[in-house]
Structure formats: C-alpha cells, structure tokens
Structure 1
Amino acid sequence: MLDLTLDPAVETRLIGRFGPGFRDWFATLPELLGRLARRWDLEVVAAVAAGNTSRTFHVRRADGVPAFLKLTPEPQIGITEATALRAWEDSPHVVRLIDSDGESGALLLAAVEPGTRVERLPIEDVAVLLRSLRPARSPDDELPTLRQRVDFLFDLTLGRWRGNPAEQYIDRDLLDRRRAAALTLAAGGPAGLVHGDLHPGNVLVSHVHGFTVIDPRPSIGDPTFDGIDWVLAQATELHDLEANITRLAELIPEVDPDRLMDWCRTTAAVIAVPRLNRDPHDRETRFLLRLAISDG
C-alpha cells in the first residue's frame, strides 16, 4: 500500500504555505490519485519527498515507461506551470509535459534520468539554460506578471523573517525599500517568459540532454530575473558577483549587466532571510546580507 504519511516538519511547512485548508486537500489525496491513475492508466509506484507547493509521485504508464505525477493543493499553480511547459515544449532543457488536468492542476511529467539535482553549473552552462528558456512566443495573456511574482516573494519573505533569527540582521524598513525597488525593476525592461524559481535545486542531471529544468513559477516580465541565483552562486565578495555577471552578459547579449546587478541587490534580502535563519555566519550568507544593505 502506498505510504502517504507526511513528516511533521513538512506538514507544518505546507500548512504555512497553503493554510489549514491543506489538511482537507491532503485527506482527499487517495481519491484524487485514484481518479488520475484511471484517467491516464497509471500505476502509482511511490511518493517523492514533498516540495514547497506540491506532492509528487513516481508512476508507471501503461507501456511501462516511468513518469511523475505532480499534485498541488492550489490548482492555479499547476495550471500556470502547464502553460509555461507548453510554451517551452521545443526546448531540450525543460521537463516534458505529457498531460495536465485542468480541474485539479495535476501534471503528468516525463521522467528525467538519473534526475539528481545539480550542485552548481558553470556560467557557460547557465547561459545555455537561459537561452533555452526564451521561446519564440510567450503566453502573455495566460500568466501573471513578474511584478505579481516579486510581490508574492516579498510577502513570503516577511513571513519567514517575522519572529525568526533574520530579524536580528535585517529590519522591516530595508525589506520594504527592497520590495519597492524590485517592483520598479519588474515594471520595466524587456518582457518575456520568466521561469521565476530557477536555482540549482530546480535543475536535474539528464542522460539525454545534460540537464533539465523543472518546477517553474512562471510569469511574464524581464527574463534577466532568472539569472539571479546563478550569478550569486558561491559569491562571497562583490568582485565574484561582478565577474559572473560580466561573463553571463558576454554569452547572452540580451542580458543587461546593470539590470542583473540591480536585480541581485533588490532580491538579496529575499535569498538571505531563510539562510540567516539557518546559519548567519556562512560566508555566502554574509555577502548576501552586505549586498542587501548596500546602496550600490
């Protein structure tokens, strides 16, 4: 029998994200799994470790081919992800959407083998990824704006900051100022399809394509946003960040290095807050804190 038990810490995290209604949704999960298994002729093999917004399951299709079934308590999350994945269907570096269920927001996704998460990518590989995320046509009318995504991220950050160790290092005024600056950035610049959550944890090693992007939180706005985590990766001094930005801009002429630096400054606090809650003395975290506080 499939074990759907949630670790208490995971349950707390998901309730924090979706509210107490998560428990009601979770209680209906066996019924939902059964309905989708019948619809797509699937054998549900095992649950995957729960993410921040979904429960994912290893499944086997009727022809024996492995796949993943991804379920979320908030159907709109799955609906927007499906929209983005269809726009990226020609990209060799984005997970393939087999089918989706509009009512529940469920996604049936092609398996990625071996599917281990990357630790880090050279800037040259990051450039390949970012170029592959620029489709010829963006579903502008079907997705939220990057401005909405940025506002949501700062709301999440406030929740993670309030009453936690990060309060000792970052004050509310700084978060408000950085939010205002980020919203101004999001309102301008080029417009295209943005992944919205592109970090090493959402890139898997693939035998077929080298690496594969998963779990978009898509929006329409400045695609430069997707470079933030990659140029900040392992940076402990400003010159590290500047070198990464310069190299990425050389490889992708559409990337404005000044805008990318501005994005890093305005979102550094968003990245720093959960890290400060875990380990405020980590060198990368200390750099993020300095970057968040600095005025450039």
Structure 2
Amino acid sequence: MEDVDARLVSRFGAKAEGWLAEVPAVAARLATRWGLVLGDLFDSGASSVVMRCQWPDGTPAILKFSPDKALLTKQVEMLRLFAPSGRVPNVLATDAETGATVLEEVLPGTMAEDMPQTSLPQQWGELLAALHAVAPPAQWPLDLRGRFDESFARIGRRLSEPVIGARIDQATWQRAIQRCDTLLDTQDRVVLLHGDLHLGNALDGGPSRGLVAIDPKACIGDPCFDAVDYVVAGAGLEGVEARCERVATACGLDGDRLYAWSRVVAPMVVIAQLTYDGPEPVIDELLALTW
C-alpha cells in the first residue's frame, strides 16, 4: 500500500493522504451496499486504488476508487461506450459521488507484453477490429488532434530538464509535431480509438474472448494510432521497422502510415525511457526514428 500512497500523493498532492485514510471505510460501506466480498489490494495505477472483490453472483471483480471523481466517471463512460465490442471489462456498478466503480476482473489477465509474441499480432488485429467497429457517438468531443495538442504541450515542458534536453532538442520536438500534423491532415478514415492502447492496457481474456482492453481514453482518429505503442515497443527487440511490418499486416493497416506514427511518438517514448532508466540500445533506436 505504501507504493500506492506514494504514487497518489505524487499525482494529487497532500490532499490524497486524507482521501487514502478513508478508503478502507468507504470500501466496507460499498461492500455492504453492493453485496461484495472484498479481497486483496490489486495492481493500482497513479490515479486510483484497486481491490479484488467478488460480485454477489460469484463473478470475480475489482473495486476501483479514485480521488479524481471526474476522471473515474469519464473512464466508466468510455468503458460503456466500447461495451458492444465485448473487448472491455463489464461495468457492474458505479457511484460517481463516491468516485468508485466495480468492474469485471479480466481473467486470466496476463498483460499482452507477457504473452507469446508469435500470435500477438493476430490477436491485436482482432482486438482492433472489434474496438473500431463500435460506432462513434454523435458529436463525441474528443479527437486525436486534441489528444496530441495536449500531449505535446504537457510532455514538451520536460525538454527543459537537463537529462531530457541533452537527448531531445526543440528541433526534434518540432519535427514530431510537423509529422503529426501531416498525418492528422491526411486521415481518410477515422474510427473510435481506444486512445491509450499500449501493451500494459491489453489483457488476456482467455481463448474464447481474446485480448481485452482496459483504461480507454476514447477519441476519434486514424486507426493506425491504436497499434503504434505496440510497434514502438519493438525497439531493442526485433526492431521497430520489423515489428511495424508484422503488425500492419496482421491488423490490416497501412504500414507506411503506421511507421510514420511511430516516428511521431518516438520522442515521447524516449522521454519515458529516460525517466525510468531505460536501456540505451532502446533509446538509441527510438532516437534514430526522430530524424
């Protein structure tokens, strides 16, 4: 629980400490209300606390809390949006006022990065086909351009940090922005995107279900975007270019556009690698994509 505390305090400040102190009592109250059997603490992210639990009918589930109630409400909305695909966890209950929700636990739940890599491209293609078949709601307010405007502004501030600025300069950052603008201006097909589909956000749902996506940041845009994080994760392994070819073929995507998107996100991934002391060969391969 100490790691969870540290992550939440880092994100939300000292106010998170008081919120965390109330979590056990709130969990007990919701368990009584919804008939849950509470279990152990589950892997929690930077914005939430997650506990295993059991739904009254025996369904394995997770109880998720966040001090950012608006964020949790939006996540629930996006999960319900993708529900017709069958490729996201089912929402079993939610309490927006408390900032809590109960979701189906995805089982066996192995993250995609830990699954056999020979069959993963095909499974990724099947996941994208299911997610992208969901019709975007009328006037959905979030699109890929807005997503990148926010990302470039937020992440770009880190170029002032000496460790980051020594590897990525403003010229490199501007090239990425220009490449992004070119791709956004030439989208000839847009779909409802998961919007944050990295290898940690796709879980094994078993042979009858396939991959299941968690934590969507739904937006409308180029279908290639939902494969780009998988592609750049090939750096230091088979290589980004080789993985791009395999993934584009398996997913029925334009390989040239997918590779171009990898060049857009490469400097962002480099910043993440530098932040968490990633291996130099991976950083070097990603930096080469930025030229």
TM-score bracket for this pair, using the shorter chain length: 0.7 to 0.9
Quick one: which amino acid aligns to residue 73 of structure 1? P
Does the residue aligned with 2:248 lie in a helix, a strand or coil? helix
- 1:131-210 equivalence runs, <5 A: 131-158=129-156, 162-163=160-161, 165-179=163-177, 181-182=179-180, 185-186=183-184, 189=187, 190-207=189-206, 208-210=208-210
Question: Does the aligned pair in 2 maintain the 1:80–1:143 contact within 8 Å?
Answer: no
The equivalent of 1:222 in structure 2 is 222
The equivalent of 1:57 in structure 2 is 51
Q: TM-score, normalised by structure 1?
A: 0.82
Quick one: which amino acid aligns to residue 117 of structure 1? M
Does the residue aligned with 2:195 lie in a helix, a strand or coil? coil
2:111 to 106, 110, 117: 117
The equivalent of 1:287 in structure 2 is 285
Separation in 1, partners of 2:94, 2:274:
38
Shift of 1:22: 3.0
Quick one: which amino acid aligns to residue 30 of structure 1? P
Question: Does the aligned pair in 2 maintain the 1:196–1:219 contact within 8 Å?
Answer: yes
The equivalent of 1:130 in structure 2 is 128
Separation in 2, partners of 1:37, 1:182:
46
Quick one: which amino acid aligns to residue 26 of structure 1? L
Shift of 1:282: 3.1
Per-residue Cα deviation, 1:77-120 (whole angstroms, up to 9, x for no partner): 22222222223223243222223333344331111222222325
2:272 to 270, 274, 279: 274
Quick one: which amino acid aligns to residue 197 of structure 2? L
1:85 to 79, 84, 89: 79
Question: Does the aligned pair in 1 maintain the 2:273–2:279 contact within 8 Å?
Answer: no
Separation in 2, partners of 1:126, 1:15:
35
* Structure 1 stretches of at least 4 aligned residues deviating more than 6 Å after TM superposition: none
The equivalent of 1:38 in structure 2 is 32
Identity within the alignment, %: 33
Separation in 1, partners of 2:121, 2:19:
41
Separation in 2, partners of 1:152, 1:183:
13
The equivalent of 2:244 in structure 1 is 245
Separation in 1, partners of 2:44, 2:255:
36
The equivalent of 1:6 in structure 2 is 2
Separation in 2, partners of 1:60, 1:130:
29
1:29 to 20, 23, 28: 23
Separation in 2, partners of 1:172, 1:27:
43
Q: Structure 2: state its 5+ residue gaps.
A: none
Separation in 1, partners of 2:122, 2:212:
15
Does the residue aligned with 2:234 lie in a helix, a strand or coil? coil
1:261 to 259, 267, 278: 259
The 1:284/1:223 distance shift into structure 2, 3 A limit, reads: same
The 1:155/1:53 distance shift into structure 2, 3 A limit, reads: farther
Quick one: which amino acid aligns to residue 66 of structure 1? P
Quick one: which amino acid aligns to residue 111 of structure 2? R
The equivalent of 1:94 in structure 2 is 88
Q: Structure 1: state its 5+ residue gaps.
A: none
Quick one: which amino acid aligns to residue 44 of structure 1? L
Separation in 2, partners of 1:185, 1:176:
14
Question: Does the aligned pair in 1 maintain the 2:123–2:210 contact within 8 Å?
Answer: no
Cα RMSD after superposing both structures? 2.9
Between 212-221 and 166-175, the greater mean CA deviation after superposition? 166-175
Does the residue aligned with 2:61 lie in a helix, a strand or coil? strand
Shift of 1:251: 3.8
Question: Does the aligned pair in 1 maintain the 2:53–2:61 contact within 8 Å?
Answer: yes
Quick one: which amino acid aligns to residue 244 of structure 1? R
Question: Does the aligned pair in 2 maintain the 1:87–1:137 contact within 8 Å?
Answer: no
